[in-house]
Structure 1
């Protein structure tokens, strides 16, 4: 039951942003900066962002060698270059905006492990470097000379280094976004589940944690809930992709490497965190099963990841696991983010293709520009 004061002050806005992840907060920040007198609210159903913003592995990456080669099989060279450009420029933008300390960034480089199944891709390393030189002016990828020093399984025949990648702390990054959004004047309301959008009336129909129905009125509405956006707009070209992340207990041995690592065309990834192994991905083992909005754990994938930890990452060692979690990403027929109006008062920014860390901030900036012209 709402009071007169609550109805008067908290339900009418110039812009309603649905989703308080990286994209939603960025959208609110950039719109508020361009329109300082506007009333902006961000609605989030969870206490923390529900999708993947704070559930990802913290990779500041834009694409491994084999991932880029795989993309070239279904995309033009210009399309692949545009993807890499968008991702890398996005990472550069958040480093510049918040500083490395503000996002917990460490420039520890990216690496990719190649086994016998993928070793032939190494023959195309120079060709990919040549293609990317228009963006980076120098070689991105290089072959690591002393593979044995990493201590991986002998089945790993080569390691490729990417000197432009690093790692960050998603929690630190989100905290910086919170502070910037609040400083700009935007409100953030959590525990609010938006169940429907009525574009013609500028209404976001929602309910709170107690189940009470709420109606937020806005001159404009931004939908930034990535895979969950299809619940509000079923016609969207996107589908969910669940990702599993495992975190070990503190390791009793010294880790002989640092950096961010990929395997299997980018589908598997790992890094060290506070003396622990963080390992995740492998949704390619069961694309159908992982095409879901359910945050459950796929036992087939968990078993596979644990096996990789014991046999490939730290061969001969048995790790104990302390935590596990899943995040929901969004994919579609194209790897390009979907940023566009979907009505007279509503616009969306979704389908980040598992690269929300890299592209989310700039996608929000782009969406705010579209909203400003509506």
Structure 2
């Protein structure tokens, strides 16, 4: 098929910046690039019909890390890196609330919890010590003396079973990931950003003063600067990056009358996570039960993980309830040997903003701001 002169001079015209990936990071990057310089011509290109990967296939958490997750991160990656990540996530969540009205994205600052069971390795004394230590470390970030508080009295009220300890974080919440992406798409459209869907970038080449992008369609695209925001899939274009895909599987129940559960919940250093979705329960995670199997970019579900999630649901959240599983899906997160995102110029005029480590909702606004400064 031939393209018309109208298409060539509008949709497919050379751009100042082309962003590959229309997920949350790509959208926030476009938003900040246009906010900082409205004269820039910016296009976002995505191989999907809508943003996929993880941005619209997550659990809709607005969180910045549970106690055991942050303790584990400090041990693995260093305390300074852990605190840097928490600050970025916390500021990102504040930025979302500043830019978008809560009703537009179903944001609810409902508070979050981490639960512990009798089978947990954590002893109460150790847990109290780590909670106190984190509260002191996080004071300058959140402005709260106690970001995390013991909340054992709420175990019964929330309808949890076989739970021995509960830690509350009132600064967490949840939102609607799809509506957040839609709101960002509408915002960047209004700023003049071109969004091209169902176009896969198969490769790129620096030619003189521009970057040529090769696609699976009948066109080549041309840009002065290229920004890759495909997170877990970034190695398809940048094979040397330290990125490992990690599949996160999710299920949702049918409506449950008088559901006592309200908030976001974390278990086992964040490997399990659940929340109420109105009067339904959304539960995800358990990839630590099959790490090798879940190190994939395949957007499918497996019996291994789904059965584990159903067992967890019946044991700790909904024993004795009648319900059906109405929805199941998976998303692909971008992990690596480090947890800090990769935001850098890879080669002249080629940039990347990837590896959100399962926290793209919170990190994306801050990453977008960093990228806009880097590409200035």
TM bucket (normalised to shorter chain) is: over 0.9
Cα RMSD for the two superposed structures: 1.4
Task: Say whether residues 1:244 and 2:255 are aligned partners.
Answer: no
* CA distance in 1 between partners of 2:132 and 2:30 (Å): 42
- Is contact 2:147–2:171 with CA below 8 Å preserved after alignment? yes
* CA distance in 2 between partners of 1:324 and 1:222 (Å): 32
How far the C-alpha of 1:285 sits from its partner, in A, is 1.0
Query: How high is the TM-score relative to the length of structure 1?
Result: 0.94
| Alignment partner of 2:315 out of 299, 311, 316 | 311
* CA distance in 1 between partners of 2:104 and 2:370 (Å): 22
| Alignment partner of 1:217 out of 213, 222, 225 | 222
Unaligned runs of 5+ in 2: none
2:283 is matched with which residue?
279
* CA distance in 1 between partners of 2:161 and 2:31 (Å): 46
| Alignment partner of 2:67 out of 65, 68, 80 | 65
How far the C-alpha of 1:134 sits from its partner, in A, is 2.3
| Alignment partner of 1:134 out of 118, 137, 140 | 140
* CA distance in 2 between partners of 1:27 and 1:292 (Å): 26
Task: Say whether residues 1:204 and 2:220 are aligned partners.
Answer: no
1:357 is matched with which residue?
361
1:261 is matched with which residue?
265
* CA distance in 2 between partners of 1:254 and 1:100 (Å): 25
Unaligned runs of 5+ in 1: none
* CA distance in 1 between partners of 2:235 and 2:294 (Å): 16
| Alignment partner of 2:117 out of 115, 121, 143 | 115
2:5 is matched with which residue?
4
1:100 is matched with which residue?
102
Query: How high is the TM-score relative to the length of structure 2?
Result: 0.94
Per-residue CA deviation, residues 246-300 of structure 1 (Å, 9 max, x unaligned), is: 011122x311131001111111111111311111011111111111111111211
Per-residue CA deviation, residues 56-88 of structure 1 (Å, 9 max, x unaligned), is: 111000000111111122132222111110110
Which piece of structure 1 moves more, 314-323 or 42-51?
Answer: 314-323
Which piece of structure 1 moves more, 235-244 or 126-135?
Answer: 126-135
* CA distance in 1 between partners of 2:372 and 2:205 (Å): 20
* CA distance in 2 between partners of 1:51 and 1:113 (Å): 28
Q: In structure 1, the residue corresponding to 2:347 is in which secondary structure? A: coil
How far the C-alpha of 1:128 sits from its partner, in A, is 1.6
* CA distance in 2 between partners of 1:7 and 1:96 (Å): 37
- Is contact 1:24–1:42 with CA below 8 Å preserved after alignment? yes
- Is contact 2:250–2:329 with CA below 8 Å preserved after alignment? yes
* CA distance in 2 between partners of 1:106 and 1:289 (Å): 34
2:46 is matched with which residue?
44
How far the C-alpha of 1:235 sits from its partner, in A, is 0.5
* CA distance in 2 between partners of 1:104 and 1:170 (Å): 9
- Is contact 1:309–1:319 with CA below 8 Å preserved after alignment? no
1:82 is matched with which residue?
84
1:227 is matched with which residue?
232
**Which portions of structure 1, spanning 4 or more consecutive aligned residues, are displaced by more than 4 angstroms?**
none
How far the C-alpha of 1:318 sits from its partner, in A, is 4.5
1:188 is matched with which residue?
195
* CA distance in 2 between partners of 1:273 and 1:65 (Å): 23
* CA distance in 2 between partners of 1:79 and 1:45 (Å): 33
How far the C-alpha of 1:119 sits from its partner, in A, is 3.5
* CA distance in 1 between partners of 2:94 and 2:237 (Å): 32
Task: Say whether residues 1:167 and 2:168 are aligned partners.
Answer: no
- Is contact 1:310–1:319 with CA below 8 Å preserved after alignment? no
- Is contact 1:16–1:43 with CA below 8 Å preserved after alignment? yes
* CA distance in 2 between partners of 1:256 and 1:33 (Å): 43
